[in-house]
Amino acid sequence: MLKKLFKPSATLSIFTLLVIGAVIGAVAFWGGQWSLHATSTDDFCMTCHSNHSLRDEVLESPHGNNSMGIVVQCQDCHLPNESFAYLRKKIAVSPDLFRFIMTPDFNTQEWLDENRREQADLALSYLRSIDSSTCSDCHSRVYDDPPPETMSRMAVGMHTMNKRRAPEDRETCVDCHVGIVHPYPDA
Ligand code: HEC
Ligand code: HEC
Ligand code: HEC
Ligand code: HEC
């Protein structure tokens, strides 16, 4: 029986093999869709970060405590919407599983406190690499002309100045907005 499995197939036609291949492909595709979806909730993030104060920080910030009653989810800021970029980020973070297992004290508040600056800079450089697109997805009117009436004068001044810069000199959202949710430690 085993031998038969590893022998080139004489009895199965090319057609049958193609059908089997297509079925396996479809299952893998939908399985992938399902797990990408299932892995994108706060609960999923908190399975590894459960002892970190990250979610409480969101709830205490304007992104979790505002007059509109909106609680912004981890992935809304950290994972891009555009599907290809999203997939790339998913693949890029998978070493986190390995690091999670290899760093026994990772899921402790002490680890976060000690490594906050380094982790924050990693998160910031990722956001810079996608031009803070997750922020702009929600805050789509920042560079509107005329600006939204509710925007403070200081904000209008800074955003207008930034918009007038040449594209290569323009700053991205997180260049100016650091520590909006989690406390960003000084060097
Ligand atoms: C399998 C466990 C695991 C899960 C699930 C997980 N993380 Fe992490 N995360 C880690 C580990 C481990 C690190 C530290 C990696 C290192 O040492 O560079 C980390 C670091 C981070 C960082 C900072 C470093 C960086 O590269 O940006 C962010 C931001 C982050 N996680 C966000 C999230 C979000 C958002 C989710 C949910 C979509 C999530 N994590 C789910 C294990 C996990
Ligand atoms: C899911 C939508 C969403 C995403 C994603 C999002 N925000 Fe917000 N943001 C909000 C809401 C809602 C508020 C609260 C508005 C209010 O209270 O009027 C807010 C408030 C703010 C404020 C004003 C309050 C403060 O903290 O100073 C700034 C600045 C801001 N966001 C920047 C950002 C940046 C930078 C990013 C990306 C890292 C981002 N936002 C991602 C929805 C979002
Ligand atoms: C050149 C620096 C700079 C850049 C770049 C920048 N901002 Fe701001 N932004 C400010 C300042 C300064 C304020 C006013 C103080 C505050 O609210 O933090 C502000 C205010 C805001 C507010 C609150 C506005 C209000 O009064 O309603 C939001 C939301 C915001 N910015 C989102 C963004 C987003 C999203 C981006 C990227 C698309 C961005 N900003 C890029 C400097 C900047
Ligand atoms: C409104 C956008 C926003 C939300 C919501 C958000 N983050 Fe972040 N996160 C950031 C930004 C921006 C940074 C970069 C550091 C900074 O500016 O403080 C960051 C940094 C981090 C870091 C690196 C360590 C640190 O404290 O800087 C981790 C880990 C992290 N986030 C995990 C999470 C998890 C888990 C959630 C959900 C419970 C979450 N974040 C929700 C915007 C967000």
Residue nearest to atom 25 of ligand 4 (CA): 120
96 lines ligand 1 (CB under 6 A): yes
In a domain, 31, yes or no: no
In a domain, 3, yes or no: no
Could you tell me the residue range of the domain that residue 50 belongs to? Answer: 42-176
Quote the CA–CA distance of 89 and 101 in Å, as a whole number.
Answer: 20
According to the model, what pLDDT value does residue 132 have? 97
In a domain, 144, yes or no: yes
Residue nearest to atom 39 of ligand 2 (CA): 135
In a domain, 155, yes or no: yes
Token pair for 93: 């973070």
Task: Name the domain count of the chain.
Answer: 1
Say if residues 59 and 71 touch (Cβ distance below 8 Å).
yes
Q: Per-10-residue mean pLDDT for the chain, 187 residues long?
A: 54 67 59 57 88 97 96 93 84 87 94 97 96 96 95 97 96 97 91
Q: Ligand 2 centroid vs 139 CA: distance in angstroms?
A: 7
Residue nearest to atom 25 of ligand 3 (CA): 151
Q: Ligand 1 centroid vs 180 CA: distance in angstroms?
A: 18
Quote the CA–CA distance of 78 and 56 in Å, as a whole number.
Answer: 16
According to the model, what pLDDT value does residue 35 have? 59
In a domain, 85, yes or no: yes
In a domain, 172, yes or no: yes
pTM: 0.89
| Terminal CA-CA length for the chain | 65
**Residue whose pair of structure tokens reads 């450089």 in the numeric block:** 125
